[in-house]
């Protein structure tokens, strides 16, 4: 993939830079000389001539999907800057289409980038692409979304808040909010997405032991407010408004459910309690206004963690196959009001 001449020059340059910059951009020791593709690790300087020495990072991203995703991807882009020594290529999917992601992934492998960050729109079907990256010795780091079936030998690590734990937290809250139990409905993301399965598993894990909670049904609303409103309006009719809890797997769908509840002449928060996952600004505003009852944060700001992992991996270090990003919860209007002023997304 690389020419010997460039490689030799790179090593020489790196050695010089390594001495000059020791301790400037993290601890990129002499390991660089082992692998040619790593020569960029030390290019922490901004000297024009060094632009070729930046670490090239291919980010196969989801693209516009909602407030959470926007915050997450902006955070990654803001972290992997040229000042920090990276040359990030951002490749959002076309309309959440996996085919466009695979195409972007393949071209990153062909370009021979130093590292690939992947947020898969769909969990399954990544084996071939990941194997190709492995053959090209390009480390792949999963951002947020996992792959299915989960095979940690195909990637370096997955950095994400834990969907399972977050969904468990939502279910725990439901137990305390309605001690006598009730009917619940789940508004899911698109069928087949890893996040959806994980959030379902976390919720079911808790609810499985509580027969007083009855599952009325589950439907996808494709993460969309508009669809969630339309779906939930029909669900309310199908069940004569006899639903006490809605588990919306993202904020947007929760807001759509709140609109449907209001339209049916019911009061969200009293007749129907709506719990969502993500913790975006509009959801916290709705929580402060009492239209949502519970918002579990799914912390999107982990660019810094990703950056540290990338540096460690390129230096030949090892990392855990799953790095959990800590997340919080908001269970009252007061908690939401407190968090709102400093909300970044």
Among 190, 214, 337, 340, indicate the residue that binds other proteins (CB under 8 A).
190
Is the dihedral angle over the CA atoms 220, 223, 227, 231 positive or is it negative? Answer: positive
Element housing 220 (H / E): strand 213-220
64 near other proteins (CB under 8 A)? yes
**In terms of Cα–Cα distance, which of 66, 121, 128 is closest to 99?**
121
Find the part of the chain contacting other proteins (CB under 8 A) among 18-26, 162-170, 171-179, 259-267: 259-267
In angstroms, rounded to a whole number, what is the distance separating the alpha carbons of residues 51 and 41? 12
Write out the DSSP string of 1-43: ---HHHHHHHHHHHHHHHHHHTTTSS---GGGGG-GGGGGGG-
Q: Which of 112, 152, 181, 192 lies at the binding interface for other proteins (CB under 8 A)?
A: 192
SS (H, E, C) 60-112: EECCCCCHHHHHHHHHHHHHCCCCCCEEEEEEECCCCCHHHHHHHHHHHHHHC
Q: Name which of 293, 215, 226, 289 is nearest 260 in CA terms.
A: 226
The answer to whether 67 contacts other proteins (rule: CB under 8 A) is yes
Determine if 148 is a binding residue for other proteins (CB under 8 A).
no
In the region spanning residues 71 to 90, those forming contacts with other proteins, defined by CB under 8 A, are none
Query: Interface with other proteins includes 276 (CB under 8 A)?
Result: no
Those residues whose C-beta lies under 8 Å from the C-beta of residue 47, and which sit 6 or more positions away, are: none
Check residue 202 for interaction with other proteins (CB under 8 A).
no
Does position 265 interact with other proteins (CB under 8 A)? The reply is: yes
CB of 225 to other proteins, least distance (A): 4
Answer yes or no whether residue 333 interacts with other proteins by CB under 8 A.
Answer: no
Q: In what helix (H) or strand (E) does residue 156 lie, and over which residues does it extend?
A: none
Q: Does 119 bind other proteins (CB under 8 A)?
A: no
335 binds other proteins (CB under 8 A): no
In angstroms, what is the minimal distance from the CB of 334 to other proteins? 23
Looking at the Cβ atoms of 62 and 109, the one nearer to other proteins is 62
70 binds other proteins (CB under 8 A): yes
Q: Minimum distance from CB of 106 to other proteins (Å)?
A: 20
Smallest gap from residue 44 Cβ to other proteins (A): 30
Rule CB under 8 A: is residue 252 a binding residue for other proteins?
yes
The residue from 103, 136, 154, 264 that contacts other proteins (CB under 8 A) is 264
In the complex with other proteins, the residue whose CB is nearer, 65 or 114, is 65
Rounded to the nearest whole angstrom, what is the least distance from the CB of residue 74 to other proteins in the complex?
9
Does 177 contact other proteins by CB under 8 A?
Answer: no
Taking the least distance from each CB to other proteins, the nearer of 71 and 314 is 71
Q: CB within 8 A of 32, min separation 6: which ones? A: 11, 14, 15, 18, 38, 39, 41, 42
Q: How many contiguous H segments (helices) and E segments (strands) does the chain have?
A: 11, 12
Under 8 Å between Cβ of 143 and 338: no
**Interacting residue with other proteins among 56, 225, 299, 311 (CB under 8 A):** 225
The reply on whether position 230 binds other proteins by CB under 8 A is: yes
Extract the tokens encoding 257: 């459910």
If you ran DSSP here, which 8-state letter would residue 280 be given? -
For the CB of residue 224, give the shortest distance to other proteins in the complex, in Å: 4
Q: Can residue 150 be called a binding residue for other proteins (CB under 8 A)?
A: no
Nearest one of 230, 337, 344, 229 to 289, comparing CA atoms: 337
Give the residues lining the site for other proteins (CB under 8 A): 63-67, 70, 94-96, 188, 190-192, 217-220, 222-227, 229-231, 233-235, 237-238, 252, 255-256, 259, 263-265, 282
């Amino acid at each position: 993939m690389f020419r010997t001449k460039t490689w030799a020059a790179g090593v020489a340059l790196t050695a010089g830079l390594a001495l000059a910059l020791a301790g400037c951009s993290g601890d990129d020791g002499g390991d660089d000389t082992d692998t040619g593709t790593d020569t960029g690790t030390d290019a922490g300087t901004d000297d024009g001539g060094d632009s070729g020495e930046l670490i090239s990072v291919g980010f196969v991203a989801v693209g516009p999907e909602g407030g959470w995703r926007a915050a997450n991807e902006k955070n990654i882009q803001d972290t992997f800057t040229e000042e920090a020594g990276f040359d990030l290529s951002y490749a959002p999917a076309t309309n959440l289409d996996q085919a466009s992601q695979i195409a972007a992934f393949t071209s990153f492998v062909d370009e021979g980038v130093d590292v690939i960050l992947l947020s898969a729109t769909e969990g399954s079907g990544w084996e071939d692409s990941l194997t190709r990256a492995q053959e090209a010795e390009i480390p792949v780091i999963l951002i947020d979304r996992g792959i299915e079936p989960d095979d940690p030998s195909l990637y370096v690590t997955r950095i994400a808040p834990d969907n399972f734990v977050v969904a468990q937290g939502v279910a725990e809250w439901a137990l305390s909010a309605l001690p006598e139990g009730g009917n619940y409905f789940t508004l899911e993301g698109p069928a087949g997405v890893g996040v959806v399965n994980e959030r379902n598993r976390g919720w079911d894990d808790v609810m499985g032991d509580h027969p007083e909670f009855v599952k009325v049904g589950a439907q996808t609303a494709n993460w969309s407010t508009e669809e969630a409103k339309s779906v939930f309006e029909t669900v309310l009719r199908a069940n004569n408004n006899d639903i006490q809890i809605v588990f919306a797997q993202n904020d947007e769908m929760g807001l759509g459910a709140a609109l449907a509840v209001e339209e049916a002449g019911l009061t969200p928060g009293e007749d129907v309690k709506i719990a969502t996952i993500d913790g975006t600004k509009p959801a916290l505003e709705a929580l402060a206004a009492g239209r949502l009852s519970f918002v579990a944060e799914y912390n999107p700001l982990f660019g810094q963690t990703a950056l540290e992992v990338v540096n460690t991996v390129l230096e030949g270090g090892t990392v855990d196959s799953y790095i959990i990003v800590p997340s919080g919860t908001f269970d009252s209007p007061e908690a939401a009001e407190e968090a709102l002023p400093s909300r970044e997304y």
